[in-house]
Amino acid sequence: MTDSDSFDLSIPDPWGDLPAYALNALGDEERARVEALLDVSPEAREELRLYMEMAEALSYVADSAPPEHVRAGLLAQADSDIHLMDVARAEARSVRPSRRSAFYGLFRSVRVPYVGTAAALIAVMGIAIFFGIESSRLGSEVAQLRMDREADLAQVADLRQVVDETSAQSDAQKAEVARLTAVNAGLNEALKNQQWLTYVTQNREFRVPNYFVGGPGAPEANGTLAVKNFDDLAVFLVSGLPPAPDGFQYGLTLVRDGVPEQVATFQVNEAGMARVEFKLPDNIVQFESAMVVLNSVDPGDMSVSGLEVMQVSETNR
């Protein structure tokens, strides 16, 4: 075929656009059409693979060495990421809930205050009896009574200590009750989200292009991205993520041609969950991958941004 065979194309021609796709020479609409073709056509993917290899070969057209500080800067960034991951792990450990059951807290909350109250009552009664007896005794019994009184005062001191300890334990129990309340709220939210997820997976209005799993920094995390058909509404549901360290937030990032674009940011609640609704950007109708990254809240701080904490599950790559 020569140039004379060519003609102006007024209708979409995604097959004919494959060479330009490999050379990164398409507009957004043309790219979307080619990517839609690639989704359904193994033949198109194979033809594109050949063109992409040629595009890669073009990188050999020049040769110059980068300065050494590029390598050093890259490795410094990597070290910074590793440090950040360590901080995130430490944060995760510090917020991990106790493994004690709810029954333990309930038992403690009932038992300990009654023990304290009963002990205090006994102490008061003992003191009253002591003073009543002392006023009615004479002579040689006084010394014995004084000894008894000292013993009783020591007992009162012990009982006061018990009351003080009980008070401290009560504060701890209040904190435990607050934590259990938060967990309960989280479980309620999880139940609602689970119901929503069931609705999505059984409803043809939605498709679920990606399931997510946690990386080394969040091994218990998992998530689901659902996109509404014939609309640009997307919902991301995640659980098991540790709260982001101070000054950081999570970002949902979609990847097209290896180039990431952040589409939503979020924080998780105390139970490690979040539900994020957002509009899918026009230029990301098709995307090849997705991930959750840990970003600095400060957009000017690029030194530790973009650390990947969740990625698409192998099962739906």
Partner 1 sequence: MPTKYQEMEDLDLLEEISNRNRDALAELYDRYGRRVFSLAARILNDPVSSEEVTQDVFLSVWRRGSSYSSAKGKFTTWLFSIAHNRTIDELRKRRRDRNRQNDDIDDHLNIESVEISPLENAVAQSEYAKVRDALAVLPAEQRQVVELSYFKGLTQAEIAERTGQPLGTVKTRMRLALRKLRNALSSEISAAV
Binding footprint of partner 1 on the chain (CB under 8 A): 1-3, 5-9, 13, 16-20, 22-27, 49-67, 69-71, 73-75, 77-79, 81-82, 85, 215-216, 255, 257-260, 288-289, 291, 293, 306-308, 311-312, 317
Q: In the complex, what is the shortest distance from the CB of residue 57 to partner 1, in angstroms, rounded to a whole number?
A: 5
What amino acid is encoded at 95 in this protein?
V
What distances in angstroms separate CA 189 from CA 20, 173, 175, 269, one per listed residue? 48, 24, 21, 10
Q: Within a 13 Å sphere around the CA of 59, how many CA atoms are in the beta-carbon half?
A: 5
Q: How far is the CB of 229 from partner 1 (least distance, A)?
A: 24
Q: What angle do CA 228, 288, 201 make, to 5 degrees?
A: 30
DSSP structural state of residue 9? -
Q: Rounded to 5 degrees, what angle do the CA atoms 143, 148, 154 make?
A: 130
**Length of the chain, in residues:** 317
10 strand-pairing partners: none
- Looking at the Cβ atoms of 6 and 94, the one nearer to partner 1 is 6
Nearest-approach distance from CB 41 to partner 1, in angstroms: 14
In the complex, the smallest distance separating the C-beta of residue 282 from partner 1, rounded to whole angstroms, is 17
- Give the shortest CB-295-to-partner 1 separation in angstroms: 11
Q: Between 56 and 205, whose beta carbon lies closer to partner 1? A: 56
Query: Rounded distance, CA 184 to CA 201, Å?
Result: 25
Query: Nearer to partner 1 by C-beta: 77 or 269?
Result: 77
Residues 6+ apart with CB under 8 A from 12: 30, 33
Nearer to partner 1, 145 or 285 (CB): 285
Work out how close the CB of 198 gets to partner 1 at its nearest, in angstroms, rounded to a whole number: 29
Looking at beta carbons only, is 226 or 307 nearer to partner 1? Answer: 307
Tell whether the torsion through CA atoms of 194, 195, 199 and 200 is positive or negative. Answer: negative
Please give the helix or strand (H or E) that residue 77 lies within, else none: helix 68-95
Evaluate whether 315 touches 267 at the Cβ level (below 8 Å): no
Residue nearer to partner 1 on the CB measure, 44 or 119 = 44
